[in-house]
Amino acid sequence: MIDTAATFNTHRPDLIRVAYRMLGSLSDAEDVVQEAYLRWAESDRAAVRVPAAFLRRIVTRLCLDHLKSARVRRESYSGPWLPEPVVEEEPAEDVTLPLMLALERLSPLERAAFILHDVFGESFEDIAAAIGRDAAACRQLASRARAHVRTDRPRYTVDRQHGLEIAAAFFEASRGEGLGNLGTLLAEDVRFHSDGGGKRPAAGRIMAGASEVMRAHAAIARLRHGPSQLLRYAFVNGLPGFVTREADGMLQTTALLIEDGLIRAIYVMRNPEKLRHLTDSVH
């Protein structure tokens, strides 16, 4: 049993990455990976030549099963949906937040083919074994997915320090006293996404355009019942941003898509259910 667990734990981080990018939820990804472990423990492991490929196949199938119910839940979701935030010290550029949102528009099979091939470098033969289609069909699925998400893939790499400097400037400008400087940071076509999940106040739709986004932040500043406590600057799903504790005592993450030195999109996570995993990592 020790060897069973040791082998599985070697691959666990990679399996979490696959499941999270498929599902957009760390808690769901962890549940799927735990179920994969149970199936691994019950399998004929002596017959498995490549454990990594075998385990990714199990995780992919479990994710596809889960997405059937997850899609129904998201169709009834209150307001804009965002994936659970992953907060890291360094930017992860393989699947950024805008790309994860683009993946939401794909069918589960297209998403699986794209993630396994374009992100994790799986062969179409291995993908075929994972999703129950032949290799040619998997190639077509990945190609269709690629065409759909092309405009949402990162076009520019923002220097780490410059990205964090813009995040710091945005934090100051969006917190009331510096609100007059906010317009200098925003692209004219900026979009504002806010996910409260019906649990906390948040915009009920995606706001578009610098004027509307500035009005929204002015309204938020008026309604804020106390200061926001900055906990850390970091990268949220690969984008520069920060973690705060708001006046109601709840955590919040903000991520910024930056292009040509201006903020093209703002992603604010307020849903407490999607922030629980951050409680132990921030103070």
pLDDT of residue 61: 94
DSSP state at residue 227: P
Same domain? 18 vs 101: yes
- CB-CB contact of 169 with 240 (8 Å): no
Same domain? 166 vs 88: no
pLDDT of residue 177: 63
Q: Residue 202 is part of a domain; what is its CATH number?
A: 3.10.450.50
**Considering its fold, how many domains does the chain have in total?**
2
- CB-CB contact of 78 with 42 (8 Å): no
Note the pLDDT tens digit of each residue in 36-91: 999 999 888 888 888 888 999 999 999 999 988 776 677 778 889 999 999 999 88
The residue out of 113, 130, 152 marking a domain boundary is 152
Same domain? 7 vs 118: yes
Full residue range of the structural domain in which residue 64 is found = 2-152
pLDDT level of residue 1 (50, 70, 90 thresholds): very low
Distance CA 221, CA 216 (A): 9
Same domain? 192 vs 55: no
Same domain? 248 vs 269: yes
Same domain? 135 vs 238: no
pLDDT level of residue 2 (50, 70, 90 thresholds): very low
pLDDT level of residue 185 (50, 70, 90 thresholds): very high
Same domain? 38 vs 133: yes
The chain-wide mean pLDDT, for the chain, equals 89
Same domain? 139 vs 272: no
Same domain? 62 vs 167: no
Global confidence as pTM? 0.89
Same domain? 102 vs 170: no
The residue out of 105, 135, 152 marking a domain boundary is 152
Distance CA 191, CA 193 (A): 7
The residue out of 118, 152, 186 marking a domain boundary is 152
Tally DSSP H helices, then E strands, for the chain. Answer: 9, 7
Same domain? 93 vs 179: no
Sheet holding 239-245, edge to edge: 87-88, 229-236, 239-245, 251-259, 262-269, 186-195, 207-208
